[in-house]
Amino acid sequence: MKNIAVFASGRGSNFSTILGKIQAGEIAARVTCLISDRAQPPVFDIAREAGIPTYWISRKHFANPDDYVNFLLGVLSQHAVDLIVLAGYLKMIPIPVVQKYRGAILNIHPALLPNFGGHGLYGSKVHEAVLASGVKTTGATVHFVDEHYDTGPIIKQEQVAVLEHDTPESLAHRVLEAEHRLYPEVVRAFCEGKIKLIDHKVQWSL
């Protein structure tokens, strides 16, 4: 049974979907803590209702980066975390945390990486960029997290067609539906030991 820490900054629909699968016994894991860079994001309500401890941890709370990193690592270790799931978390994960948990930090991005990712491309900005480019296919990507935004090894993607009359909102809606299929599937596979990062490459075993 894996212990998961979820990092999230906003509404928490991916967290909620994954939590639902855990509660239904479809993913053998427990979410042992939820961490946010924001004081009261809506996602905290979902966690609290499920009795999951929530932490507001912001770099701004600490006099220097080392204290911040040590606090974060302390919380993760206190909750015996095996897997970190980023679900709409808008801050960079500090490098020492990436190094300690390499191969055990997942992120979901609402486009087909390596396209339409990177610093500043989040939320509706991603879908606006997709529509402006004229591509006919977008989607969702789950990847391992490395030291940069959206560049880590890709684990799985689901494609979504871009339709003629799509707006950023209509596209975001269909991509989110894909996210809610893709992310729990990857989390489940990880928890079953079927996905590993070896020499910076993703290895699936079925």
> Which of residues 70 and 128 has its CB atom nearest to ligand GRF in the complex?
128
Asked about 180 being catalytic, the answer comes back as no
Q: Can you say whether residue 134 is alpha, beta or left, with left for phi > 0 and alpha for psi between -120 and 50 degrees? A: left
88 binds ligand GRF (CB under 6 A): yes
**CB of residue 63 to ligand GRF, shortest distance in Å:** 30
110 binds ligand GRF (CB under 6 A): yes
Burial label for 205, CB within 10 Å (0-12, 13-18, 19+), is: exposed
117 binds ligand GRF (CB under 6 A): no
The binding track of 22-61 with respect to ligand GRF, each residue x by CB under 6 A or -, is ----------------------------------------
Query: Is there a contact between 35 and 63 (Cβ–Cβ < 8 Å)?
Result: no
Residues 6 or more apart in contact with residue 28 via CB below 8 angstroms: 1, 2, 188, 191, 192
Residues 6 or more apart in contact with residue 132 via CB below 8 angstroms: none
**CB of residue 205 to ligand GRF, shortest distance in Å:** 26
10 binds ligand GRF (CB under 6 A): yes
The residues that bridge with 56 in the sheet, in sequence order, are 36
2 binds ligand GRF (CB under 6 A): no
Q: How far is CA 133 from CA 76, 136, 137, in A?
A: 40, 9, 11
CA–CA dist 35, 76 (Å, integer): 10
87 binds ligand GRF (CB under 6 A): yes
Among 2, 7, 12, 184, binds ligand GRF (CB under 6 A): 12
Among 2, 5, 7, 13, binds ligand GRF (CB under 6 A): 13
> Which of residues 71 and 156 has its CB atom nearest to ligand GRF in the complex?
156
The residues that bridge with 110 in the sheet, in sequence order, are none
Rg (CA), the chain: 17
Catalytic residue among 109, 127, 143, 180: 109
184 binds ligand GRF (CB under 6 A): no
14 binds ligand GRF (CB under 6 A): yes
For ligand GRF (CB under 6 A), the number of binding residues is 14
- The residues annotated with a catalytic role in the active site are 109
